[in-house]
Amino acid sequence: MSFRGRLSFFFAVIVILPMVAATVVVFLLLSYSETSKADARVAEGQAAAIGLYRREVERASRAAGRAGSDSQLTQAIVARDRGLASARARELLASLPARRLAVVAGGHMLVDVGRRDATAVASRQLVGSSGRVVGRLQVAVITAPQYAATVRKITGLEAVVRRDRTTLNATLPGLPAGQLPDVGDLKLGRRSYRVASFSAPGFRGSTLRVSVLSNKAATASDLSTGRLLAAVALVGFLLLAVAFALTVSRSLQAQVARFLAGARRLATGDFSQEVPTEGNDEFAALGEEFNKMSRQLEARLEELRQERARLEDSIRRIGETFASNLDRDALLEIVVRTAIDAVNADCGRATARDHPDGPLRQRACAGEIGAYGEVIHGVEAQAQESARPAQVGREGASALAYPLRSAEGEVMALVSLARSGRPFSQRESELFHYLARQAAVSMENVDLHEMVQRQALTDELTGLFNHRRFQEVIHDEVERAKRFDHTVGLVMLDIDDFKRVNDTFGHQQGDLVLREVGRVLRDTVREIDEPARYGGEELAVALPETDLQGAYNLAERTRHSIAALEIPRLDGGGTLKITASFGVAALPESALDRASLVAAADAALYRAKRAGKNRTERATPTPAGAAPAK
């Protein structure tokens, strides 16, 4: 018999069919027996409770007959004297074996004395001396607690007496009224009960509901012997199945052991030994396929090892080149594309800030981001909030994000990747983090390079360009103006009485004055203009595409803005007011080359100083026929 035939025979004949059939049949029988006995027990209790209730109704009927024949009660009812009727009813209640007495007359309850939890009600008509019915008398001789206790004593079952939705008495503590069904099963804590109920009329047209509850545990204990026998039979059947299984397994053990040993060698990466095959059955064919798979797997793993080694070397070489790159956007583009290839992602992007307080803007993108927008936004938000690498999976997509932080720990850029299908592995995450760290080093180099460039061209105190940068700019602008026959303007200004500020209030106050004037100058000029600190308290602005009148207008706006400044005094003595004098010139109106342009504006500035300060002077026109200096 083949392996498949023997295995099918073993499970079908020895285990599956007998065990399923025996288990189903035995437990169906036990369940049916248990349910039947529980129903019988609760039915017997219900019948006993009904009989006891009828007996109490008969007792109440006899008491009602005696009360109904009382002439004083009848006369009080006929007279509709509620007080006299109630007083006589209490006397009768004390003399009769009764718990409650009520009389309904004219559709209203005229008399109602006794305990409100009385049950087993008997009714009869009250007839006056004229033979006319004057009311209806209701009497009960037992209370709900007495009745429930009697039922429990006689039947051994729990009893619950309810009037409409109100529970009058229950021998089972902790039972909510709304939880009790009229018929069926009830689960109360760890106990299960079988419930049966019957109804009876009560006082004032109400309905009494009496329920008896049989504890299933008591019934289950009666079936313990049957269950024990069933358990013994099932265990015996299981032992028989084990015996057959052991017999069949001995014939398969040697063949399975060889495959198991081969599988363990493969698990440890040992492909050197093949599984021995014998015969021509399915095991031999399986062994041959197993050996073929082992050879193919060994060859494929070797290819993958070589490919991974080449890839990691390439990635690390690229990563090392990031550290020397000075183009921020090109750098981010490279890191995104390289990371996508390295971890087999579907898409990725890089975002960065233009300045420390600005928002993150997309700088580089590769692949179709649209389908992964939600998961990428989620992982970027998590990485930005925690300032740590993050990984998020959502709706079949996975995403990675790495924050590039400044020296102060602020997130200045984010690199994120996404793909569908399987999540990123630990190895892929580590490789991505390595690339992102190298990009962070490169961006630090970019920032350092830009900072050095700024420091080389910028005056540290005012934030304006320095003298060197000004000379380069004015040279380039003059050459461009001459080449294309354009105009270029120049404004030079000097802070009035600046030495007195330093001598009177100190050099720190003078530095504050310079910073404020520099700020005003930056706010006043256009984006294409080039404001600079020419030297000391003297400032200059190169104005491309500006004639003499345009330069004069800019100088006047700046002069008024400086005069309006209120600079706080560092000694706490209030504010300080300052002014500035301006000289303006333009090419070709005032000069023909760079040197003469600067000289013309400087001369106009000193004329403004000599004319009383806090004013703007234009340079004199260029003499006709003058030639530019060589």
Which residues have a catalytic role annotated? 537
How many Å apart are CA 219 and CA 42, to the nearest integer? 10
Q: Rounded CA gap, 80 and 128, in Å?
A: 12
Query: Which residue carries 């008997």 as its tokens?
Result: 122
- 34 to each of 213, 224, 375, 380, how far by Cα in Å? 15, 10, 57, 63
CA distances from 158 to 53, 199, 214, 216 (A): 15, 17, 7, 12
Amino acid at 559: R
Place of tokens 């005069």: 563
Instruction: Note whether 584 and 609 are within 8 A (CB).
Output: no
DSSP, collapsed to helix, strand or coil, labels residue 517 as: helix
Among residues 109, 108, 136, the alpha carbon closest in space to that of 122 is found at 136
Note the helical H segments in 184-281. Answer: 216-222, 224-267
Rg (CA), the chain: 53
Sequence-distant (≥ 6) Cβ neighbours of residue 393 within 8 angstroms: 375, 399, 423
* Cβ atoms < 10 Å from Cβ of 175: 17
DSSP state of 371: G
Say how far apart CA 331 and CA 333 lie, in whole Å. 5
Helix (H) or strand (E) holding 61: helix 17-68
DSSP strand pairing (390-394 vs 360-366): unpaired
